[in-house]
Amino acid sequence: MRAPLLAVALLFLCFGIFAQEPNHHCGTTEALEWLYRQDPSARQRVQALLDAAQMTDKTASINQYARTAAVSYTIPVVFHVVHLGGNENISDAQVKDAVNILNRDYSKQNADTMNTIAVFKPIAAKTDIHFALATKDPQGNCTNGITRHYDAVTNWGSPNQSNYKFQWPANKYLNIYVVKALDPGVAGYSFYPGAVPLGMDGIVILHNYVGSIGTASSFGSRSLTHEVGHWLNLAHVWGSNNNPGQACGDDGVSDTPVTKGNSWCNLSAASCSAGVIENVQNYMEYSFCSTMFTQGQATRMQAALNNSNGLRNNIWTNANLIATGVINPLSNCAPKAEYVITNSITCTGQALSFLDASYNGSITSWQWTSPAAQQPVISQNGQLTFTNSGQVSVKLKVSNSFGSDSITKNTIYVMANGVNSATTNVTESFESVQFPDSRWFASLPQYGSGYAKTNLAAATGSSCVYINNFGDNPSEVVNMFTPAYLITNTVNLNLQFKYAYAPQFATNSDRLRVLYSTNCGQNWVVLFNKSGSVLAAGNAPFANGAFVPQASQWTTNTLPLNLSAGTEVYFRFEYTVDAVNGAGNNFYLDDINVGNGGVAVAENRLDPSQVVISPNPATSLVNVTFLSPLTESCTVQIMDVTGRIVMAPVALTTEEIAIDTRLLNRGVYFVNVKYREQKIIKKVVIE
């Protein structure tokens, strides 16, 4: 029986389709819902903060927001640019442009204030709140207020405290994280003051919504203005939720009319109170024609800066402005070393390139060194040739007249060049070989253990390699690399290996992939890819304790190889621990053979003819149907003819999905199905 139909609404993913870029929304509500799931008491705490702010606003409204003393609030800011060497590593100029826009908007210096409709011009506020990049870091060292980190956490999903590992003290700095990806349709988010621990107190935003230059544009340049509003205790004008246009709501500020919220620039909107025009041009709206804060909102933000919640009352003090270098700023900083690895795998005798990504000050000299390379390289972007194999380190030292800094990364894998044997019939049973050695080696995770030789069990003989995935789980993907094999006989050519694995629980989803490369690791082809119950199927039952396989609990895999004679080929056994449901159990590997015997069975693939798009052409719904059972989950997304994604990937394990296409313009689109490592693209016409 076919699984129930899964409906996917594009409206959840984005509020509109634009020619230049998708209209992303604020993810603060979703972030708060995540917080409430982690800490149920947080809902009452946050509501109390909002109620207290509303009382402050009502008291201030009696005096028509007259401020008896001209108080100016300056907030030290640090931007943490988290990147993987792509365009998410935005320039200093783009960051400074974003700060200029914040100061312009919060000071009512924006030129488009002239477009503010007449009914709201009298209460459009100059907030007296300013922003300045810090020039001292938490240790008092010179900084330009921008840190850069080459790190995989540039792809953020739900908030996770470990993602905030670059945080500076939130009672001294406004921390802004610039990242590559967030949940579908989300441009950024922030928490209200005091809602979360100081270690998570900051703003997270997509790189292309920072400023108006570089990767960004004027279209989304007010997104940071909006998120800082949340950081200063402002709700959306329709209330503290993410459902504009559904029901009339109130943000607790007395001079912002009750509104449903608007996802487009309807300047005459008056749907909640007869004859009352709504503040569609407010920065806390979704109209994308924002020009203003109100006087009430300014009062509420200033109240947040005078409140101990989130310690916002410390951040603008004279003592803190001195401590962060806003007053008496430092200049002429020494650089901070950072670099990008273009490819982490190579062979001995082959050159590998590295890109300088250092920051914080101008650089006059670079030096690249490695214990596994013959000589240092002195140039901005290094290229090292390695003489020793294994997992090796590379160090970059950068300097200028004000100082120097260095960084060492132990994430380069150098495979032994030169063939393992003159024949393809080569078997490694790990009986006599020392593991690791100069030819067989494994990556070492930062925490936990990777592949190691053991005599706990073996498919044949007394030894094999295993991963202690019960008591010492690796913290990241671990790989085992083989030496090179020279292909001389291509008849019935295959790779054969044996493994044993038993998860602790049905939810465990550890994954094994086996890949090969014929160009020293520049490209890899997937031969084998299984996880969870599929990896354990036919292998061993669930094991509550540390798994040690019996002789009958080994699985033999024989995979066909389509390689030409004379090819030198390397293999990689990649093991990934399930980070969501927890590690499964110990994994064992033995008897790796490249040869010409046995019956080879290719990995299961999805026949493109088994993916059906209907109706086609379509008007409102497109059904994607799989005629073959799915043994693993796959993802479906929709792209336009330019390759732009108009529906973010949706994961499914059922055999049918219905996609709401009513927000798409008429035209030709492509349904992109990814199953295992296979991609299937189908054309669909929307009428």
d(C-alpha 560, C-alpha 601), whole Å: 6
d(C-alpha 242, C-alpha 227), whole Å: 13
| CA distances (Å), origin 414, targets 348, 349, 384, 386, 483 | 6, 9, 11, 7, 10
Asked if 359 contacts 330 with a C-beta cutoff of 8 angstroms, the reply is: no
Asked if 150 contacts 83 with a C-beta cutoff of 8 angstroms, the reply is: yes
Structure tokens at 101: 């826009």
Question: Any catalytic annotation for residue 574?
Answer: no
d(C-alpha 433, C-alpha 502), whole Å: 26
* Owner of token pair 């477009």: 115
**Rg of the chain over all Cα atoms, to the nearest angstrom:** 29
Write the DSSP symbol of residue 553. Answer: G
Asked if 539 contacts 501 with a C-beta cutoff of 8 angstroms, the reply is: yes
Structure tokens at 554: 């080994």
Residue 506: HSE in the Cβ half-sphere, 13 Å Cα cutoff:
0
Write the DSSP symbol of residue 163. Answer: G
- DSSP for 291-335 reads -B-BHHHHHHHHHHHTSSGGGHHHHTSHHHHHHTTSSS---SPPP
Which of the residues 88, 227, 278, 574 is marked catalytic?
Answer: 227
d(C-alpha 480, C-alpha 485), whole Å: 15
Asked if 644 contacts 674 with a C-beta cutoff of 8 angstroms, the reply is: no
Count CB atoms within 10 A of the CB of residue 11: 12
Active site residues: 227
